[in-house]
């Protein structure tokens, strides 16, 4: 069965965005060791899962071939099929992306049951908190930036009890630390 991985940048105090969704706190000057980690983490991934709001920015940015990214990463981001979870879209306005607008748990369970490689979710916040709350993520990769912002959009929904077990903690030269967790089995 396919696994669902989550990769999200977060602050030390657990936010994936500022109060109004600001992301100016993120470290974008990644050291090569971050890229090596991501390459290894995504080696078996063949599908990207996105929320609609993130997809509206994510897909066009990668299709514009950002100058600060290498061609191999850009090609992977463009060519990897995407599933956009949306309550408002009925069809995809993007190439290489399909829309799923049914029950999120059922959608993810069906995707996991299909043949193929693993899935990776990048967000946004509604999707991430929904996936975590429904216990649908098999591996959480939290890229903790060395900054606290005090308030914002949390990775974990308020009041959500989420028992995890640590798989690894990997510090990078640029100051980010990847915390790799899996659901804690009861």
> For residue 127, what is the enclosing H or E element?
helix 125-133
Cβ burial, residue 186 (10 Å; 0-12/13-18/19+)? exposed
Separation of alpha carbons 3 and 161, rounded Å: 22
| pLDDT on residue 75 | 94
DSSP states along 10-68: E-TTSEEE-TT---TTS--S--HHHHHHHHHHTTTEEEEEEEHHHHHHHHHHHHT--TT
Q: What does the pLDDT average to over 127-147?
A: 94
| pLDDT on residue 157 | 87
Pairing between β-strand 4-10 and β-strand 118-123 as defined by DSSP bridges:
parallel
Q: Could you read off the pLDDT of 7-46 as tens digits, one per residue?
A: 999 999 999 999 998 999 998 788 999 999 999 999 999 9
- What is the pLDDT of the chain when averaged over all its residues? 93
Q: What does the pLDDT average to over 135-160?
A: 94
Residue 186 has pLDDT above 70, yes or no: no
| pLDDT on residue 150 | 96
Q: Could you read off the pLDDT of 53-97 as tens digits, one per residue?
A: 889 989 999 999 999 888 999 999 999 999 999 999 988 989 899
């Amino acid at each position: 069965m396919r696994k669902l991985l989550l990769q999200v940048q977060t602050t030390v105090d657990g936010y994936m965005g500022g109060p109004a969704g600001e992301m100016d706190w993120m470290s974008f000057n990644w050291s090569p060791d971050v890229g090596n980690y991501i390459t290894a983490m995504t080696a078996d991934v063949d599908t990207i899962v996105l929320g609609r709001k993130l997809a509206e920015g994510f897909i066009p940015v990668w299709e514009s071939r950002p100058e600060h990214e290498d061609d191999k990463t850009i090609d992977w981001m463009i060519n990897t099929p995407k599933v956009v979870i949306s309550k408002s879209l009925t069809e995809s306005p993007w190439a290489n992306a399909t829309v799923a607008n049914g029950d999120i748990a059922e959608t993810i369970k069906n995707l996991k049951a299909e043949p193929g490689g693993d899935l990776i979710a990048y967000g946004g916040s509604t999707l991430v908190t929904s996936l975590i709350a429904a216990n649908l993520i098999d591996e959480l990769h939290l890229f903790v930036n060395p900054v606290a912002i005090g308030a914002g959009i949390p990775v974990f929904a308020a009041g959500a009890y989420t028992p995890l077990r640590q798989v690894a903690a990997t510090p990078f030269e640029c100051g980010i630390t990847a915390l790799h967790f899996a659901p804690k089995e009861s």
